[in-house]
Amino acid sequence: MIIISQVVIALRSFHRHPLIVAIGAVTTLAIIALSENAYGRKQDTHYTPKLLWLLVIATPIAIAIQTFVNY
């Protein structure tokens, strides 16, 4: 859901807030990488709580950046 909303926001808001949209895109890519890494480690049973906390903290930050772009 974060990926789709980031694409839509980027298309509609880039002309108004290019820097914030770029930061949001980087944050979204980081969340994608963290999610893939967490899922891969969960399957290999090498899962660390630190990775989960990083993902839990990064996701609301990305959502807040996407919300900020709309204002």
pLDDT of residue 44: 65
CB 6 within 8 A of CB 25: yes
Among candidate residues 48, 12, 6, the one with its CA nearest the CA of residue 26: 6
Can you read off the two tokens belonging to residue 62?
């990305």
Q: What is the pLDDT of residues 6-60, one digit of tens each?
A: 788 788 888 888 888 888 888 888 888 888 887 777 666 666 778 778 888 888 8
What's the pTM? 0.67
